[in-house]
Structure 1
Amino acid sequence: MSPQWRSGTDLEPIMDQKLVIIDTDAGIDDAQAIMMALAAPGMRIMGITCCFGNTDVDNVCQNVLRVLSICQHTQIPVFRGSVGPLVAATKAVSDHFGTDGLGDVLDEDPQWKEKIQTEHAVNAMTRLVAEHPKQVTLVALGPLTNLALAIRLDPSFPLNLKELFIMGGNMEGKGNVSVCGEFNFVMDPESAHVVLEEYLCPTHIASWEYCCRNKLTWEFFEDLINQDTPAGRFMKKITSSCWAYSKEAMLSKRDVYFGPGFVSYDAYAVAACIDSSVVTESILSAVHVELQGTLCQGMMAVDQKNMLKKDHLVSVMKTCDLTKFSKLLLASLRQPCV
């Protein structure tokens, strides 16, 4: 029987910590981001909810369990969530991080299903937030399907959130999987639209361009993955055969818009959640996710003139303190096993 975890008395002595739920599609950059959150002393991860995206949801669940095991945080509950987008047929998952999301270098745990909570991710998400209204920060690192379903299940859910951090969308109409769209939003445009129209809690977006414009050097990446710790060795292994972490393979692809460099996409959203001063400049703006057209579906329009006359504005990150961000990345792989 799957273990069941309940919040409550075990949270009461640590109310000074930030309560966080991470929603993820668990590719390599998600793994890095989760490790960053685990290493942050001010963070209390209440649960990790899984969604399709970089790979299918079963692989996502296994990947999250692997990260928690390496970092010895297996007490954190993991919930299986959406297997496909809200409206459209399920699209082929990306092989950007390998077919399993972690570089296709790891063996399967035959007992992994027994370690996943029986409660569905969306139910767990709404329950945990209802139990701690205005106290929980939600960090969304994949397609936003679980979040869209959560508001349909419980319309009060986003009102009870303290804040929302999203890695996804784009600022300039530049796409990475379509002409104008970013991967997480393109994988489920309708869910991205629902979230950015109906979630009225404080919302912070680390867009694709933000991540790429604040890239790090490949020399830093080499230093990062050569940390002699369990987490460091794990990260070195999962990036070893992945073309997305090959300097030579990525040079031509990133030169088009942003020039060469190492980008750990999802870690930028988690870093902002941990320390708001990591973001040195942001844009407060209305945003809208386009649902029409073959070229623009899933594109996030940043409406700085508020021509849409929206009351709810979101914070779109623009520049990053790379010194602070680098320290958080290094700390994520240097963390002691507890």
Structure 2
Amino acid sequence: MTIPLIIDTDPGVDDAFALALAAASPEVDLIGVTTVFGNVSPELTTRNALRVLALLGREDVPVAAGAERPLVHPNPGVSSAHGADGLSGFASTLPEPSRGPDERDAVTLLKDLLEAAERPVTIAPIGPLTNIALLLAAHPGLRHKIERLVVMGGGVRGGNITSVAEFNLWCDPEAARRVLADPEVPVTLVPMDLTTRAAVSVSWLAELASASEIGAKLVGLTPDYLATYRRILGRDVMALHDAVAVAEVVRPGILRVRRFPVDVECSLGPGRGGLLVDERLESARREGIDIAVDTDAADLHRFMLERLGALRVRQ
């Protein structure tokens, strides 16, 4: 039985890989994509999502544009890691989409898909959590229709935008706190600590590029992103943060998790957007969220390569 899946995203290079992994996996039924501000402007995140789905031959999947700004305070800026267009300047190498975004906004599409679903839906928010916070606030009666949220975000040991804050949580800490600190539905959080440890090498990218035309297109989107990680990590590797989260959706348990209570720092000081994880043994684990703490990186890499490498252009 397939897992009905909605991806909430801000493409983004690793978001493109995440969408491709979902499309390549028969275990999931990708029923919708919603977009949010983040790596680039809302206009570009939506356009990029449409282009990636066109590449994958999945233009049947509705795409709805969502939040253009955080819930409370203005967003200080967008990420430079993904290049000016979000795809290392190579968005135009993807097919021109044959259709535009859905007429509904992201929260309305989420509501409609949840209401129509015959069984609970998994949602993978892999950008700022604004759309999900709005959904839970506006439609609390639909919580039972969500199987779980598999969220990419946060850093247990530090951040990538500030010393404490990871990008997705930093973009909208108030929304992140609404979703993570007092969870109304089950949450699996995939933090950057794990996704960075599971970074793929340039040889992995070369193997993917040689596996298929779609693999080569995906790898063609990575130059700016790869250059960022060369600078940050000092090695020829690249973190596919969002694809790691989708891998956990497709193959539950590929990431090992532990339950911890969490909070998100929402002050306007230097700690803003930081993930606060209570790792004390005496903490009430039952009231926390599942945080991915480990994985067999070699197995994860093989799995992603097999799935992405098997993608073929639909005629």
Same fold (TM over 0.5): yes
How is 1:156-171 mapped onto 2 (pairs within 5 angstroms)? 156-171=141-156
The answer on whether the counterparts of 1:286 and 1:306 sit within 8 Å (CA) in structure 2 is no
Q: Kindly provide the CA deviation profile for residues 287-330 of structure 1, in whole angstroms up to 9, marking residues without a partner as x.
A: 11111252211111111237776853211111112233223322
Residue correspondences, number = 313
Post-superposition offset of 1:23: 0.2
Percent identity of equivalent pairs: 26
Structure 2 residue aligned with 1:275, among 248, 251, 261?
Answer: 251
Other-structure match for 2:230:
251
Say whether 1:129 aligns with 2:104.
no
Say whether 1:301 aligns with 2:276.
yes
The answer on whether the counterparts of 1:133 and 1:162 sit within 8 Å (CA) in structure 2 is no
Q: Kindly provide the CA deviation profile for residues 125-164 of structure 1, in whole angstroms up to 9, marking residues without a partner as x.
A: 1221122275200001000000011112111233321111
Q: TM-score, normalised to structure 2's length?
A: 0.92
Q: TM-score, normalised to structure 1's length?
A: 0.86
| Residues in 2 aligned to 1:97 and 1:252: alpha-carbon distance in whole angstroms | 14
| Residues in 1 aligned to 2:15 and 2:95: alpha-carbon distance in whole angstroms | 23
Are residues 73 and 313 of structure 1, via their aligned partners in 2, closer, same or farther at CA, if it must alter by over 3 Å?
Answer: same
Post-superposition offset of 1:34: 0.5
| Residues in 2 aligned to 1:122 and 1:306: alpha-carbon distance in whole angstroms | 38
Other-structure match for 1:4:
none
Structure 1 residue aligned with 2:219, among 236, 240, 249?
Answer: 236
| Residues in 2 aligned to 1:158 and 1:276: alpha-carbon distance in whole angstroms | 21
| Residues in 2 aligned to 1:305 and 1:134: alpha-carbon distance in whole angstroms | 36
Other-structure match for 1:289:
264
| Residues in 2 aligned to 1:61 and 1:76: alpha-carbon distance in whole angstroms | 13
Post-superposition offset of 1:63: 0.6
The answer on whether the counterparts of 2:263 and 2:276 sit within 8 Å (CA) in structure 1 is yes
Other-structure match for 2:313:
337
Are residues 65 and 305 of structure 1, via their aligned partners in 2, closer, same or farther at CA, if it must alter by over 3 Å?
Answer: same
Other-structure match for 2:159:
175
Post-superposition offset of 1:84: 0.8
CA RMSD of aligned residues (A): 2.3
Structure 1 residue aligned with 2:209, among 202, 206, 225?
Answer: 225
Unaligned runs of 5+ in 1: 1-15
Other-structure match for 1:262:
238
Other-structure match for 1:54:
39
